């Protein structure tokens, strides 16, 4: 991957263009196969990304490193409001529980309205869904750091 500074903005090139024209060069085809010297003379330098975890970090804007002649992006931790993020995760869990309970809600409504018993298997399944929801909510509530929250996977 290459990057080039144009009018103060770093443009990132996952692939170099085939055609390229500047004050110094007019390449009708094959520019992407140019030598390193030609590319660097035109301002195209390697883009080096620091290793990062995309679930908990993001990359900075590229900065040109004069010493090594490359553009660099460094890893930055994602900043979240922990309490708001916990609330969002818990809301997701409750929505999932509601979605899983919904197919059998009619049986509970029928019981409430007519007294027709709900199948014991259905009652057990519904209780299992509520129990899992409570366990996951407690797990989320116990998480203390942004990294823990960002890495947490809701498994129902």
Output the DSSP codes for 75-93. EEEPP--HHHHHHHHHHHH
Maximum Cα interatomic distance, the chain, rounded to a whole number of Å: 87
**Residue 155: CB atoms within 10 Å:** 7
Residues 75 and 51 sit within 8 Å (Cβ to Cβ): yes
Does a structural domain hold residue 7?
yes
Residue 156 predicted with pLDDT over 90: no
Cα–Cα distance for residue pair 148/55, rounded to 1 Å: 10
Quick check: is 146 in a domain? yes
The residue among 58, 77, 96 that closes a domain is 77
- Is 140 contained in some domain? yes
**Band of the pLDDT at 1, cuts 50, 70, 90?**
very high
Instruction: Tell me the per-residue pLDDT of 66-119, one tens digit each, with 9 for 90 and over.
Output: 999 999 999 999 999 999 999 999 999 999 999 999 999 999 999 999 999 999
Residue 35: its pLDDT value, please? 95
Residue 156 lies in a domain: no
Find the domain containing 122 and state its range: 82-151
Cβ atoms of 76 and 59 closer than 8 Å: yes
Co-location of 9 and 72 in the same domain: yes
Query: Mapped to the 3 state alphabet, what secondary structure does 123-136 carry?
Result: HHHHHHHHHHHHHH
Establish if 88 belongs to a structural domain: yes
Distance CA 89, CA 18 (A): 46
Indicate whether 39 and 88 sit together in one domain. Answer: no
pLDDT tier, 43 (very low <50, low <70, confident <90, very high otherwise): very high
Return mean pLDDT, the chain: 97
Indicate whether 10 and 49 sit together in one domain.
yes
Between CA 17 and CA 23 the distance in angstroms is 16
How many domains would you assign to the chain?
2
Q: Based on the domain organization, do 13 and 41 belong to the same domain?
A: yes
Residues 63 and 88 in one domain: no
With 0.75 as the threshold, say if the pTM is over it: no
Task: Provide, rounded to the nearest whole percent, the portion of the chain with pLDDT above 90.
Answer: 98
Lowest mean pLDDT, pick from 3-7, 25-29, 68-72:
25-29
């Amino acid at each position: 991957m290459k990057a080039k500074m144009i009018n103060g903005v770093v443009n990132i090139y996952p692939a170099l263009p085939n055609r390229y024209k500047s004050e110094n060069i007019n390449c009708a085809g094959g520019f992407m196969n140019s030598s390193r010297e030609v590319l660097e003379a035109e301002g195209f330098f390697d883009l080096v990304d620091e290793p990062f975890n995309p679930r908990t970090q993001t990359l900075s804007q590229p900065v040109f490193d004069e010493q090594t002649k490359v553009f660099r992006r460094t890893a930055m931790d994602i900043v979240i409001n922990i309490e708001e993020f916990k609330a969002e995760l818990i809301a997701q869990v409750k929505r999932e529980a509601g979605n899983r309970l919904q197919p059998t809600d009619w049986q509970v409504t029928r019981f409430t309205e007519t007294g027709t018993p709900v199948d014991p298997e259905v009652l057990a399944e519904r209780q299992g869904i509520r129990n899992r929801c409570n366990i996951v909510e407690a797990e989320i509530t116990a998480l203390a750091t942004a990294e823990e929250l960002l890495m947490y996977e809701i498994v129902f």
